[in-house]
Amino acid sequence: MIDRLPRPTDFLLEAKSRLNRGGLLVLSSPYSWNEAFTEKTNWMGGYKYGDNDGPSTYSGLKEFLSSHGFTEAKQPEDLWFRLEELGNGRKWQQTKAHMTFWQLR
Protein backbone atom coordinates (compact mmCIF):
# COMPACT_ATOMS: atom_id res chain seq x y z
CA MET A 1 0.00 0.00 0.00
CA ILE A 2 1.92 2.98 -1.27
CA ASP A 3 -0.21 5.34 0.81
CA ARG A 4 1.50 3.99 3.94
CA LEU A 5 5.09 4.51 2.80
CA PRO A 6 7.08 7.53 4.03
CA ARG A 7 8.52 8.12 0.53
CA PRO A 8 6.50 6.27 -2.12
CA THR A 9 8.54 7.59 -5.07
CA ASP A 10 11.71 6.13 -3.50
CA PHE A 11 9.96 2.76 -3.27
CA LEU A 12 8.89 2.94 -6.93
CA LEU A 13 12.40 3.79 -8.10
CA GLU A 14 13.81 0.91 -6.03
CA ALA A 15 11.20 -1.44 -7.54
CA LYS A 16 12.25 -0.28 -11.00
CA SER A 17 15.89 -1.07 -10.23
CA ARG A 18 14.90 -4.65 -9.38
CA LEU A 19 12.85 -5.32 -12.52
CA ASN A 20 14.12 -6.59 -15.83
CA ARG A 21 12.96 -4.90 -19.00
CA GLY A 22 9.47 -6.22 -19.65
CA GLY A 23 8.99 -6.91 -15.93
CA LEU A 24 5.61 -6.29 -14.34
CA LEU A 25 4.98 -4.04 -11.33
CA VAL A 26 1.60 -4.60 -9.67
CA LEU A 27 0.44 -2.01 -7.13
CA SER A 28 -2.60 -2.22 -4.92
CA SER A 29 -3.68 0.59 -2.62
CA PRO A 30 -6.85 2.28 -1.41
CA TYR A 31 -5.07 5.67 -1.76
CA SER A 32 -6.18 6.71 1.71
CA TRP A 33 -3.26 9.03 2.36
CA ASN A 34 -2.62 9.98 5.96
CA GLU A 35 0.05 12.34 7.27
CA ALA A 36 0.70 9.92 10.14
CA PHE A 37 2.41 7.67 7.56
CA THR A 38 3.40 9.95 4.68
CA GLU A 39 4.14 13.67 4.80
CA LYS A 40 1.73 15.47 2.52
CA THR A 41 4.62 16.74 0.38
CA ASN A 42 5.34 13.09 -0.53
CA TRP A 43 1.78 12.18 -1.50
CA MET A 44 1.36 11.17 -5.13
CA GLY A 45 -1.80 13.12 -5.75
CA GLY A 46 -4.78 12.28 -3.65
CA TYR A 47 -5.03 15.68 -2.02
CA LYS A 48 -8.14 16.84 -3.83
CA TYR A 49 -10.45 18.62 -1.40
CA GLY A 50 -13.74 20.28 -2.24
CA ASP A 51 -13.77 21.64 -5.75
CA ASN A 52 -10.02 22.16 -6.30
CA ASP A 53 -8.36 20.47 -9.23
CA GLY A 54 -5.65 18.50 -7.42
CA PRO A 55 -4.58 15.29 -9.18
CA SER A 56 -5.83 11.88 -8.16
CA THR A 57 -3.30 9.33 -6.93
CA TYR A 58 -3.89 7.25 -10.05
CA SER A 59 -3.02 10.18 -12.33
CA GLY A 60 0.00 10.98 -10.14
CA LEU A 61 1.18 7.36 -10.36
CA LYS A 62 0.61 7.27 -14.09
CA GLU A 63 2.60 10.46 -14.65
CA PHE A 64 5.48 9.36 -12.39
CA LEU A 65 5.74 5.81 -13.72
CA SER A 66 5.40 6.90 -17.36
CA SER A 67 8.27 9.34 -16.90
CA HIS A 68 10.40 6.51 -15.45
CA GLY A 69 10.00 3.98 -18.25
CA PHE A 70 6.75 2.21 -17.40
CA THR A 71 3.64 1.72 -19.50
CA GLU A 72 0.29 0.59 -18.22
CA ALA A 73 0.09 -3.15 -18.94
CA LYS A 74 -3.68 -3.51 -18.46
CA GLN A 75 -6.66 -1.62 -17.12
CA PRO A 76 -6.80 -1.10 -13.34
CA GLU A 77 -9.07 -3.30 -11.25
CA ASP A 78 -10.85 -2.78 -7.95
CA LEU A 79 -9.91 -5.22 -5.22
CA TRP A 80 -11.75 -5.61 -1.92
CA PHE A 81 -9.70 -6.42 1.16
CA ARG A 82 -10.39 -6.77 4.85
CA LEU A 83 -8.29 -5.50 7.75
CA GLU A 84 -8.88 -7.20 11.08
CA GLU A 85 -8.44 -4.76 13.94
CA LEU A 86 -8.77 -7.32 16.74
CA GLY A 87 -7.24 -10.77 16.77
CA ASN A 88 -10.61 -12.35 17.56
CA GLY A 89 -12.22 -11.18 14.30
CA ARG A 90 -14.90 -9.15 16.07
CA LYS A 91 -13.79 -5.83 14.64
CA TRP A 92 -12.65 -5.26 11.08
CA GLN A 93 -12.96 -2.91 8.15
CA GLN A 94 -13.54 -3.70 4.52
CA THR A 95 -11.95 -1.42 1.96
CA LYS A 96 -11.66 -1.28 -1.80
CA ALA A 97 -8.18 -0.93 -3.24
CA HIS A 98 -7.20 0.14 -6.74
CA MET A 99 -4.89 -2.39 -8.38
CA THR A 100 -2.73 -1.19 -11.26
CA PHE A 101 -0.36 -3.03 -13.60
CA TRP A 102 2.80 -1.45 -15.03
CA GLN A 103 5.36 -2.90 -17.41
CA LEU A 104 8.94 -1.66 -17.60
CA ARG A 105 9.90 -0.70 -21.14
- Phi then psi dihedrals of residue 62, to 5 deg: -60, -45
Ranges of residues in the chain with a pLDDT under 70 are 47-54
Query: Which DSSP letter does residue 3 get?
Result: G
What is the value of pTM for the model shown?
0.85
pLDDT at position 83: 84
pLDDT at position 56: 87
Question: What strands, in cross-sheet order, belong to the sheet with 24-29?
Answer: 24-29, 92-104, 70-84
pLDDT at position 20: 97
How many whole angstroms separate alpha carbon 59 and alpha carbon 12? Answer: 15
pLDDT at position 52: 58
> Nearest CA to 103 among 54, 61, 49, 66?
66
